[in-house]
Each structure stands twice: as structure tokens, then as C-alpha cells.
């Protein structure tokens, strides 16, 4: 296994090569964001109760994965009854050999293939071409990348990175004449070019989107209809599928044929959804028409047997996670991916192409959590990715700079003893130069100052020891940086009638998670959960001014601690502070007044999204008479905790590139200041826009309601 520093070097070079391409990035982002907009429209129309829709889809996949062996047997039996031949391939090599043997037996020379990530995964084209068979990819996007000699850039849009000019050049080469970059003309060329292949091919291969065990049916979805044109005329048809494509019943399949396009391209249904049950005869002739189904394991059984990665098999390949991923949408699938790209590409690569391959691009995950929020089967990719990093660092080691940024709390704890000296040092050019050189902390990045007065002092006489109905989780932000905001939150709760306590605690430890140091993250979680759960009385809430802290208590700790009852109890009690304050003002239990003039641009930190609480921030500000609008790109600002503090392309520079679009929008919003609940997003936005950035509590003053 190569060392972490070697992988870091290779990845840095790849990232550095694409960072300067700002025009290309703009084009890519627009394409991905457009898809997300269409997706939202389709959800409105087809899945009003999106949470239920997601849970239904997840249940279908979970049921299938839990019963995989049984369903596999049932599927094989039913397919064989229909005259199809079914093969099980344990790995890529075996799968390629099976396909090759069939082709050889049929004396096939020309093969058409319709889009299939599984055949990409096993390297089928390369294998067959090595044996002198001609394989033509018939999906337009796949054809483009095939002619370019590249691999797919995106799960759903394999050629999304190519402009029409690029395509015109590729097609002109193939046509032997100059084609214009008119998309209609390019499509016409593809139509004619491929039609001839369809009608003369000896064999057709397609991937499989879903397979129904109870009926022995494979389902193939395409928008272009290329699967049909491939497998209708060809005598021999081979469907290549991963074993995770199985579902039990027709009803299950129907759920997924909706979930897939809605979440993927924002369509109501894919244009052509073919349910193939056996091989239908052509003009009454059935004898020569064969159907072969190759079912591939290639690491899937290991995934299924691994409790952390099992749910990676729930993926329905909609690609939404890559559209939302901040680093993917800045770098694209040739940097952020191997064969499988984007967020889900990391766990999949770890199992089908090896841990080291996955570790090559896993550091591009900055743990914003958005992929989990968007996934139609609610796959916890951030957790799996952290686990990939964790498993890798056992062998390849941890990067020194990651260890440095993980220990920020220690540095600030020491710093808080000598605040003036510490603040002077972190602002001095010399110190910053040395910090960059020896610790890997970017010198241009503003570092937050440590507060002069500790939180405990500010809360003296305000918090209670026992019987609290609100526990304040200070985290790093309120403990070391802005105890004044922490105290304001506590005051507001007291005004609203809460008895607040500050139980013993450490900071959330999220950076350990982000860098894959899961043992350390777990220790932190154990400590906090033990103390918080002890202090938690029935009906009490836990709040924090930092959304990442809230997110960690709510979503991460239960999983890290294997869902022990105490962690679940803490999770249950944890709520978004801004949501709570908004409810309290709405219910007349608290009054809010503005203390800052002007219009506010509200930033939505990623971990606030998980609570769906950004509207509450706006509503809270508005209830105090502040004019506020959400300004966002729908994805992360790029700071990602400590990521944007690290020197180099895999840190500060990438974080700025991720943030550029948000900064532009903030600046164009003509708002006088920005409001963000996150302490680190605040630094990034302030560095990137030069606008003042406040925590919402800084812009408001809370009082108890006046007695009438």
C-alpha cells in the first residue's frame, strides 16, 4: 500500500491541473446545478412527500440486500424457466471471460453495448477488444467518451465535460469529414453511424437497472432507446448486471423506476423502460434468439457482509450525490473518481477496485454531508467515506497536516490561557510563514482569535447544576472563540423560561471524523455522550450555536457508538438552536430586536441543511424586522471545517474554488452583511467577499416578552 504522502502528491497534481480551468468549471457547474433544479421540479410533481419516497426506496433496496441469496436463486430459476441462460461471475475477469466465450461461440465480430457502468467496472470493452472484437458504445454520451479514449465522467452524464466543439471534433474524425458543432447535426451523425451498427451487430450487450426475482425479469432504462435498437435485431443478447440490482417484486421495481429518473435527471420516468422477461421471438422465430444474463459479484458480497458498507448496495445510480458534491462539481469525475466517480464512487471503488484506489481520491470528500441529504435511498456516504479513510490510514498512515488541524482544540486551549500573546502570534506574518512551512497551515487564511474571557466565566450564576431543561453544548466555537455568542444563546433560553446547564464536555471532534481518525472521534463521542446523557432529564433539549456540533450529536454519534441507548437519547434531544429560537419567538415566549442595520444575506451551512433549518434562520431574522434573503448555490461554501485552512491545492486553493460562485452571488446580492451560523463558513465567506459576517445571534437582541 502506498503511503498517504504519495497519494497526496498524485492527487494534488491532478487537482492542480484542473483548478485553473475556470471556464470549464463554470460550464460543468451550470450543467450539474441545472440537473438539480430539474430534480427539484420533478420531486414536487412526483414525490410531494419526499421523505416518505426516500424511505420507501430505501426499504425496497434494504429488503433485497437482506435477502440477496434467496432472491438470487429465485431470479435464476425464473429466468431459466423462460429459456435464458444465467451465469454467476465472482469477479471482473470471470465476467469478461463469460461474455467473451458467448461471443466466440456465436462467432460474433461486432458488438453493440448500451450504457452500463457494470461493464465499465469490469473493463469489458478493453477485454473484448484485446480479443479482437469490436465493441461500439451506443449511448451517445458513452460513444463520445469511447471515441475520446476516456472513461465516463459522471454516472448519468458520461460526457458532461465535453462541449459541442469537442464532440464535433471527435465525430468529424470518425466521419472522415468536417461536421459543424450544431447539436442537431451531431445527433444526426450519431443516429446514422449507430444505426448501421445496430442493424449489423452480431451481439448486443446491455446493462441492467433492476432485476425482478419473482418474475425473472431484467429492466433496462434508456432515454435514447439504444438498448432496444441493440437487442431487438441482434440474435444474441447478453444482459450484464451486478447482483445488487435485484428486487423481490414488480411493485418494488415500480418504486425504483420512478425514484431513479426523478432523482437523476429530474424526469418523471426514463423514456424507455424495458421489462424483459425471457427473449421475445422476432417474427415468430424464437430458436436463434438467445438471452444470456451475467450476474456479477466482484466485491458485492464483501460489501453486503460489511455492516458499514452494506448500504452502498442500495445505490440506484442516480448520480444526484455527484451533482451536489462541492468538490466533485469543481473538479469533475476524472479527478474525483476512478471508474465509479463522486461520493458513492469512494465506497464502491474500495470494494470493487481496492482500498488504495479509493484512497487516491477519498481526500476530496470534505465531509459536508450533502450527499447523504440528497440520496434517494439515504445512503450515509459521508460515514462510509470516513471509514474508507480510516481503513486506509491503518496501512498508509495519516497526513501530518491532518494531525495538525485535528489538534486545533489543544492549540486553542493553550492559547486561551494567554489570549493576547496567542492572538498576536496567529496574526504575525513570521509566525504564519513558519506555520505554513512546518505545519501546513495556509498563511493567507484568517485564523480566528481566541476570546479573552472564557465561557464559564460569562455563564457564572446563570447556569444550573441539576434539573436543567436545556443543555448547552458549547463546542469549540462558544468555548474558545465566541463565548459571548454562547452566553447570548443561554440568556435567550433563560428569557424564554428555560433552566440551562453546561455539563462537562469536549468539542464535537468532527475533524477526526472528517479525516478518518475514527478511533479518536469515537473517544470524543463517548465522553460527550456519557456526560450529556447523564445531565439529560426527560423532555430536555440540547442546543449549540454551531451547526456542525448539532449535526454531530444528532447524526454522527449514534452511528459512531453503534446506536447505544445513551447516544440515541442525546441524538433525540438535540435540536437546532435557530429552529428553537424561532419557535419561541413565534409562540410569544421570546422577543427579538435587531442590533445591526441593513439587509442580511443568509448563508446556509451544510450541516444546517440536515435540519432543514435555514428557513427558520430567515424567519427568525424577519421576526425581528431584519430584511433577510437566502443567498446560496445549494452546495457547500468550500471551507469544510479545517479543510480550507490547509495550505495547497488540497486545502485553501480548492476551498476558494468551491466557494467562488457563492462569493459572487453574495457580492451581487447587494446585502449589507452576511449571516451564517457556522464559525468556519464565516471565516471563509468573510475572506472571500470582504463582507462582514455575523452569527444570527449577533444581529439580534433577545428579551423576555413584555407583560401585558
Binding footprint of other proteins on the chain (CB under 8 A): 31, 34-35, 46, 81-83, 138-141, 144, 157-160, 162-164, 167, 183-184, 186-187, 190-191, 194-195, 198-199, 215, 217, 223-226, 228-229, 232-233, 250-251, 254-255, 257-258, 265, 267-284, 286
Q: Which of ligand SF4, other proteins, none does residue 294 bind to, with CB < 5 to 8 Å depending on kind?
A: none
Residue 139 or 360 having the CB closest to other proteins: 139
Q: Which of ligand SF4, other proteins, none does residue 641 bind to, with CB < 5 to 8 Å depending on kind?
A: none
Residue 268 or 433 having the CB closest to other proteins: 268
Residue 264 or 613 having the CB closest to ligand SF4: 264
Residue 319 or 696 having the CB closest to ligand SF4: 319
CB-based contact 139:163 (threshold 8 Å)? no
Provide the 3-class DSSP secondary structure of residue 694.
Answer: strand
Q: Which of other proteins, ligand SF4, none does residue 499 bind to, with CB < 5 to 8 Å depending on kind?
A: none
Residue 215 or 676 having the CB closest to ligand SF4: 676
Shortest distance (Å) from residue 343 CB to ligand SF4? 3
Residue 155 or 600 having the CB closest to ligand SF4: 155
Shortest distance (Å) from residue 370 CB to ligand SF4? 4
Q: Which of other proteins, ligand SF4, none does residue 317 bind to, with CB < 5 to 8 Å depending on kind?
A: ligand SF4
Taking the C-alpha atoms of residue 56 and residue 71, their distance in angstroms, rounded to an integer, is 19
Shortest distance (Å) from residue 122 CB to other proteins? 23
Q: Which of other proteins, ligand SF4, none does residue 140 bind to, with CB < 5 to 8 Å depending on kind?
A: other proteins
Shortest distance (Å) from residue 265 CB to other proteins? 7
Distance set, CA 65 to CA 41, 76, 211, 243, 309 (Å): 30, 16, 13, 9, 12
Q: Which of ligand SF4, other proteins, none does residue 366 bind to, with CB < 5 to 8 Å depending on kind?
A: ligand SF4
Shortest distance (Å) from residue 161 CB to other proteins? 10
Shortest distance (Å) from residue 44 CB to other proteins? 13
Shortest distance (Å) from residue 703 CB to ligand SF4? 39
Residue 110 main-chain phi, psi, to 5 deg: -110, 130
**Residue 78 CA to its chain's centroid (Å):** 37
Shortest distance (Å) from residue 133 CB to other proteins? 22
Residue 233 or 454 having the CB closest to other proteins: 233
Shortest distance (Å) from residue 226 CB to ligand SF4? 21
SS (H, E, C) 430-462: HHHHHHHHHHCECCCCCCCCCCCCCHHHHCCCC
Residue 35 or 112 having the CB closest to ligand SF4: 35
* Residues forming beta bridges with residue 674, ordered by sequence position: 601, 693
Taking the C-alpha atoms of residue 478 and residue 460, their distance in angstroms, rounded to an integer, is 15
Q: Which of ligand SF4, other proteins, none does residue 371 bind to, with CB < 5 to 8 Å depending on kind?
A: ligand SF4
Residue 589 main-chain phi, psi, to 5 deg: -95, -5
Q: Which of other proteins, ligand SF4, none does residue 225 bind to, with CB < 5 to 8 Å depending on kind?
A: other proteins
Residue 283 or 460 having the CB closest to other proteins: 283
CA-CA-CA-CA dihedral for 419, 423, 425, 426, to nearest 10: 130
Q: Which of other proteins, ligand SF4, none does residue 321 bind to, with CB < 5 to 8 Å depending on kind?
A: ligand SF4
Provide the 3-class DSSP secondary structure of residue 368.
Answer: coil
Distance set, CA 703 to CA 123, 276, 487, 499, 536 (Å): 66, 67, 14, 15, 26
Taking the C-alpha atoms of residue 240 and residue 253, their distance in angstroms, rounded to an integer, is 18
Phi and psi based region of residue 299 (left: phi greater than 0; alpha: psi -120 to 50; beta: remaining): left
Taking the C-alpha atoms of residue 258 and residue 47, their distance in angstroms, rounded to an integer, is 9
Taking the C-alpha atoms of residue 10 and residue 646, their distance in angstroms, rounded to an integer, is 17
Q: What angle do CA 691, 606, 15 make, to 5 degrees?
A: 85
The radius of gyration computed from the CA coordinates of the chain, to the nearest angstrom, equals: 28
* Residues forming beta bridges with residue 94, ordered by sequence position: none
Residue 122 or 366 having the CB closest to ligand SF4: 366
Strand order in the sheet with 628-630: 628-630, 600-602, 673-675, 693-694
Taking the C-alpha atoms of residue 557 and residue 579, their distance in angstroms, rounded to an integer, is 21
Shortest distance (Å) from residue 263 CB to ligand SF4? 6
Taking the C-alpha atoms of residue 225 and residue 516, their distance in angstroms, rounded to an integer, is 43
Shortest distance (Å) from residue 194 CB to other proteins? 7
Binding site for ligand SF4 (CB under 6 A): 155, 263, 315-321, 324-327, 343-344, 365-371, 374-377, 379, 381-382, 385
Helix (H) or strand (E) holding 594: strand 591-594
Taking the C-alpha atoms of residue 158 and residue 45, their distance in angstroms, rounded to an integer, is 27
Shortest distance (Å) from residue 640 CB to ligand SF4? 7
Residue 170 or 259 having the CB closest to ligand SF4: 259
Q: Which of ligand SF4, other proteins, none does residue 377 bind to, with CB < 5 to 8 Å depending on kind?
A: ligand SF4
Q: Which of ligand SF4, other proteins, none does residue 255 bind to, with CB < 5 to 8 Å depending on kind?
A: other proteins
Range 555-559, long-range pairs (CB < 8 A, 24+ positions): 555/369, 555/610, 556/383, 556/510, 556/513, 556/521, 556/525, 557/525, 557/528, 557/529, 559/380, 559/383
Shortest distance (Å) from residue 665 CB to other proteins? 21
Residue 190 or 350 having the CB closest to other proteins: 190
Q: Which of other proteins, ligand SF4, none does residue 19 bind to, with CB < 5 to 8 Å depending on kind?
A: none
Taking the C-alpha atoms of residue 22 and residue 18, their distance in angstroms, rounded to an integer, is 8
Q: Which of other proteins, ligand SF4, none does residue 135 bind to, with CB < 5 to 8 Å depending on kind?
A: none
Shortest distance (Å) from residue 71 CB to other proteins? 16
Q: What angle do CA 219, 81, 253 make, to 5 degrees?
A: 25
Provide the 3-class DSSP secondary structure of residue 571.
Answer: helix
Residue 230 or 343 having the CB closest to ligand SF4: 343
Taking the C-alpha atoms of residue 529 and residue 203, their distance in angstroms, rounded to an integer, is 59
Residue 201 or 364 having the CB closest to ligand SF4: 364
Shortest distance (Å) from residue 156 CB to ligand SF4? 8
Taking the C-alpha atoms of residue 403 and residue 187, their distance in angstroms, rounded to an integer, is 52
Residue 32 or 481 having the CB closest to other proteins: 32
Provide the 3-class DSSP secondary structure of residue 240.
Answer: strand
Residue 245 or 482 having the CB closest to ligand SF4: 245
Q: Which of ligand SF4, other proteins, none does residue 319 bind to, with CB < 5 to 8 Å depending on kind?
A: ligand SF4
Q: Which of ligand SF4, other proteins, none does residue 425 bind to, with CB < 5 to 8 Å depending on kind?
A: none
Task: Report the b/e string of 87-102 with b at 16+ CB within 10 A.
Answer: bebeebebbbebbbeb
Distance set, CA 464 to CA 457, 486, 489, 540, 542 (Å): 14, 15, 15, 13, 14
Q: Which of ligand SF4, other proteins, none does residue 687 bind to, with CB < 5 to 8 Å depending on kind?
A: none
Strands 134-137 and 700-703: unpaired
Shortest distance (Å) from residue 208 CB to other proteins? 14
Strands 246-247 and 236-242: unpaired
Amino acid at each position: 500500500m502506498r503511503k498517504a504522502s504519495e497519494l497526496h502528491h498524485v492527487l494534488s497534481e491532478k487537482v492542480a491541473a484542473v483548478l485553473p480551468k475556470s471556464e470549464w468549471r463554470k460550464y460543468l457547474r451550470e450543467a450539474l446545478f441545472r440537473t438539480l433544479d430539474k430534480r427539484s421540479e420533478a420531486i414536487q410533481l412526483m414525490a410531494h412527500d419526499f421523505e416518505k419516497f426516500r424511505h420507501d426506496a430505501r426499504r425496497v433496496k434494504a429488503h433485497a440486500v437482506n435477502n440477496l441469496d434467496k432472491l438470487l436463486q429465485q431470479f435464476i430459476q425464473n429466468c431459466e424457466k423462460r429459456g435464458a441462460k444465467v451465469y454467476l461471475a465472482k469477479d471482473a475477469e470471470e465476467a469478461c471471460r463469460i461474455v467473451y466465450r458467448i461471443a466466440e461461440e456465436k462467432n460474433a465480430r461486432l458488438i453493440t453495448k448500451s450504457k452500463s457502468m457494470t461493464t465499465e467496472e469490469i473493463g469489458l470493452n478493453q477485454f473484448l477488444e484485446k480479443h479482437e472484437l469490436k465493441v461500439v458504445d451506443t449511448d451517445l454520451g458513452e460513444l463520445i467518451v469511447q471515441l475520446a479514449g476516456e472513461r465516463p465522467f459522471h454516472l448519468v452524464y458520461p460526457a458532461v465535460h465535453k462541449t459541442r466543439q469537442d464532440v464535433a471534433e471527435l465525430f468529424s474524425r470518425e466521419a472522415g469529414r468536417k461536421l459543424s458543432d450544431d447539436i442537431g447535426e451531431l445527433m444526426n451523425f450519431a443516429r446514422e453511424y449507430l444505426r448501421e451498427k445496430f442493424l449489423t451487430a452480431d451481439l448486443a450487450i446491455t446493462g441492467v437497472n433492476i432485476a425482478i426475482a419473482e418474475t425473472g425479469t431484467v429492466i433496462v432504462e434508456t432515454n435514447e432507446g439504444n438498448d432496444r435498437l441493440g437487442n431487438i435485431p441482434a440474435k444474441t443478447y447478453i444482459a450484464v448486471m451486478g447482483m445488487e440490482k435485484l428486487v423481490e417484486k414488480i411493485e418494488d421495481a415500480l418504486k425504483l423506476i420512478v425514484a431513479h429518473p426523478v432523482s437523476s435527471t429530474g424526469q418523471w420516468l426514463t423514456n424507455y423502460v424495458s421489462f424483459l422477461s425471457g427473449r421475445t421471438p422476432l417474427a415468430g422465430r424464437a430458436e436463434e434468439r438467445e438471452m444470456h444474463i451475467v450476474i456479477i459479484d466482484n466485491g458485492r458480497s464483501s460489501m453486503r457482509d460489511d455492516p458499514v458498507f452494506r448500504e452502498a448496495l442500495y445505490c440506484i445510480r442516480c448520480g444526484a450525490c455527484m451533482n451536489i458534491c462541492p468538490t466533485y462539481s469543481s473538479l469533475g469525475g476524472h479527478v474525483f473518481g476512478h471508474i465509479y466517480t463522486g461520493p458513492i464512487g469512494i465506497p464502491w471503488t474500495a470494494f470493487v477496485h481496492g482500498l488504495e484506489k479509493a484512497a487516491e481520491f477519498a481526500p476530496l470528500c470534505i465531509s459536508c454531508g450533502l450527499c447523504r441529504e440528497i440520496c434517494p435511498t439515504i445512503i450515509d456516504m459521508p460515514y462510509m467515506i470516513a471509514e474508507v479513510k480510516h481503513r486506509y490510514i491503518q496501512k498508509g498512515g495519516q497526513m501530518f497536516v491532518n494531525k495538525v488541524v485535528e489538534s486545533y482544540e489543544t492549540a486553542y486551549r493553550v492559547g486561551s490561557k494567554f489570549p493576547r500573546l496567542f492572538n498576536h502570534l496567529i496574526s504575525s506574518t513570521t509566525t504564519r510563514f513558519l506555520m505554513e512551512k512546518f505545519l501546513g497551515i495556509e498563511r493567507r487564511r484568517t485564523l480566528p482569535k481566541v476570546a479573552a474571557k472564557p465561557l464559564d466565566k460569562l455563564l457564572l450564576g446563570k447556569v444550573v447544576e441539576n434539573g436543567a431543561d436545556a443543555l448547552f453544548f458549547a463546542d469549540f466555537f462558544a468555548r474558545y472563540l465566541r463565548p459571548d455568542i454562547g452566553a447570548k444563546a443561554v440568556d435567550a433560553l433563560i428569557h424564554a423560561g428555560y433552566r440551562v446547564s453546561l455539563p462537562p464536555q469536549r468539542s464535537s471532534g468532527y475533524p477526526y471524523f472528517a479525516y478518518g481518525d475514527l478511533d479518536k472521534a469515537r473517544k470524543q463521542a463517548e465522553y460527550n455522550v456519557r456526560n450529556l446523557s447523564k445531565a439529560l432529564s426527560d423532555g430536555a433539549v440540547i442546543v449549540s450555536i454551531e451547526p456542525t456540533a448539532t449535526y454531530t450529536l444528532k447524526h454522527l454519534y449514534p452511528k459512531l457508538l453503534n446506536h447505544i441507548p445513551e447516544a440515541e437519547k442525546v441524538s433525540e434531544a438535540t435540536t437546532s438552536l435557530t429552529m428553537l429560537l424561532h419557535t419561541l419567538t413565534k409562540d410569544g415566549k421570546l422577543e427579538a430586536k435587531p442590533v445591526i442595520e441593513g439587509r442580511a444575506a443568509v448563508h446556509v451551512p451544510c450541516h444546517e441543511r440536515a435540519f432543514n433549518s435555514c428557513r427558520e434562520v430567515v424567519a427568525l431574522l424577519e421576526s425581528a424586522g431584519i430584511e433577510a434573503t437566502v443567498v446560496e448555490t445549494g452546495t457547500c461554501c468550500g471551507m469544510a471545517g479545517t479543510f480550507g485552512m490547509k495550505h495547497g491545492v488540497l486545502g485553501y486553493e480548492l476551498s476558494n474554488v468551491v466557494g467562488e460562485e457563492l462569493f459572487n452571488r453574495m457580492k451581487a446580492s447587494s446585502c449589507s452583511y452576511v449571516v451564517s451560523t457556522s464559525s468556519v463558513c464565516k471565516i471563509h465567506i468573510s475572506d472571500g467577499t470582504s463582507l462582514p459576517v455575523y452569527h444570527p445571534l449577533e444581529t439580534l437582541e433577545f428579551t423576555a416578552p413584555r407583560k401585558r
